[in-house]
Structure 1
């Protein structure tokens, strides 16, 4: 039995953008996500992806600074499911 949960379309679209190298996130406890330089329309979803360990900053930064976003191993597995 698999532990992978089917993600809604928007979650998967955000993960694909991160995987494609098109996303940045702010360094904060509740990071905001930007795709192609634009703020995502649903920051609640972005927060969920970060809180659940699906995306993370590619490198450390100062609070509020935008840094590239990357998929975690968990994010890669969720996108592949």
Structure 2
């Protein structure tokens, strides 16, 4: 059994879990070029993966906000499709 889902970007099981948290409305992203992910109000322990998910276009901030301030995170259509295939 594979531990990753492969598309144009390889996403680990941890990344899939992060996408699931965002899909459930539990994620927030900071407004910056390297957005940090918070889940249930706590900083995600793997910000490298959070950055990769955002740069791959799988999740994004739901609205603009002040630099460095967290706003609700949402999945993009690509993130929804990847999660549906996981």
What is the TM-score of this pair, normalised by structure 1? 0.92
**Which consecutive unaligned segments of at least 5 residues does structure 2 have?**
1-5
**Which consecutive unaligned segments of at least 5 residues does structure 1 have?**
none
| Structure with greater proportional strand content | 2
What is the TM-score of this pair, normalised by structure 2? 0.87
Number of residue pairs the alignment of both structures matches = 78
Higher relative contact order (CA 8 A, sep 6+): 1
Aligned equivalents of 1:51 and 1:8: distance in 2?
Answer: 15
What root-mean-square deviation, in Å, do the aligned CA atoms of Structure 1 and Structure 2 show?
A: 1.0
User: Structure 1 residue runs of 4+, over 4 Å off?
Assistant: none
